[in-house]
Amino acid sequence: MVAVCFAPIRVPAVRVTALDACGAVSTSVCSSVASTGIITIEQTGEYNERQDFFTLNADGQPCVTDTSPPILKWINLVLTFCKVDPEMFNLMTGEPLVLDDSASPQAIGFRTREGSVNTVNFAFEAWTRISGSNNCSGGTLQFGYFLLPWVIEGTVGDLTLQNGLATFTVNARTRSSALWGSGPYNIRLVLSGADLGEPRPLLTPIAVGDHRHIQLTTLAPPADACGCVDATPAFVIAPGAGAAPLAVVATHPTGLVYPIMIDWGDATATEIDAAGPSTNHSYTVPGSYTATLRQSTISGPTWTSNVVVVS
C-alpha cells in the first residue's frame, strides 16, 4: 500500500446538509447550503476515560496491571462564521427564520427561541487547500475533504457586535450510526476503470461507528451560494414516455457549473456538455431508463430523471 501525505491549509468552502431524525439525508427542497463564509472549524474529541485495573498481591507486588482504552463518545464542534446565511443557520440550529413581505418571501434573518435545538440534525462538510508539493496530482489541483456525517445539538454561541467584524459561532457535537452511506454528493473523481475522470460519491460508505471522514480529492468544492437548495434534485427530460426510437431533450437545472456529464442510462457513452441549457438524445431500445447529470469540476449532487420507452 502506498500512502499520500498532505498538509491541509485554509478552508475555501463548507456545506451543510439537513438530515432527518434518524440521520438520513432530508428530502426537503431546502436541505443543502454551501458557503465560503467560514472562519474556523474547531473539532475536539470527547472520550470516556480509560479504566485502570491494578491490584496488589498479599506481598505488596503488582498482581493485575491492565487498562481498558478510552472510548470516543463524540466530537465537539465550534464553527465560527463571518457571513450570515439565515437558511444555513436554520439547518444547523433550528432557529426559526425571519421572512420579509415580498411577493416571494425571502429569509432575511433568524430568531433565537427556546427549544429549537431539539429539532437539529445535519451533516457538515469542509474542503481545505493543500500546502506543498502535493497540492496537485497529475496536473489537477487537490483538496482536503472533511466530512462529519451526523451532527446534533447545534446552538448559536457567542455573538459580538462591535466596531469591527461581527462573527457568529455555532456549537454542536457529532453522533454515530449516521445513515449517510456514500452520500448524496459527488466528492471525488474516479482514478481508474471505465468511469475514469467522472465525479462520484464516497468510494466506501460511512459505517455505523464513523464520526468523521478525511481524504484527498481532485474534485473542487461547491460554489458559494446564499440560501438552500435540494440535496437530492431531479431534472426534466421531455417527453417522459414514447415509442422507440424516442428523441428527448434534457433541460439543465439552473446554476450549474459547466462542463457537465450526462449518463443516459442506456449503455451509451457518458455525454459531456460544455454550455447548455439543454442536451438532446435518442433512445433506440424500449425500456425504463434513469438518466443522471453531474457537474464535472465541482462537488455537487447527482440530478436524476426517469424515461420510459415503449415498443
**Sign of the dihedral through C-alpha 94, 173, 187, 258:** positive
The residues, any chain, with a CB within 8 Å of residue 157's CB and separated by 6 or more, are 78, 169, 170, 171
Give the list of residues 6+ apart from residue 193 with CB closer than 8 angstroms, or none: none
Nearest-angstrom CA–CA distance, 296 and 169: 33
- Of 7-16, 157-166, 278-287, the poorest mean pLDDT is in 157-166
What pLDDT, in 10s, does the model give residues 267-309? 899 999 999 899 999 999 999 999 999 999 999 999 999 999 9
Omega prior to 277 cis, within 30 of 0: yes
pLDDT in tens, 41-56: 999 999 999 889 999 9
What pTM was estimated for this model as a whole?
Answer: 0.91
All structural domains of the chain: 7-217 (no CATH), 236-310 (2.60.40.10)
Listed in sequence order, the DSSP H helices in the chain are 86-93
Give the integer Cα–Cα distance in Å for 271 and 212.
34
Strand partners for 308: 241, 288
d(C-alpha 85, C-alpha 277), whole Å: 28
208 φ/ψ sector (left φ>0, alpha ψ -120 to 50, else beta): alpha
- Decide which of 274 and 2 is more confident: 274
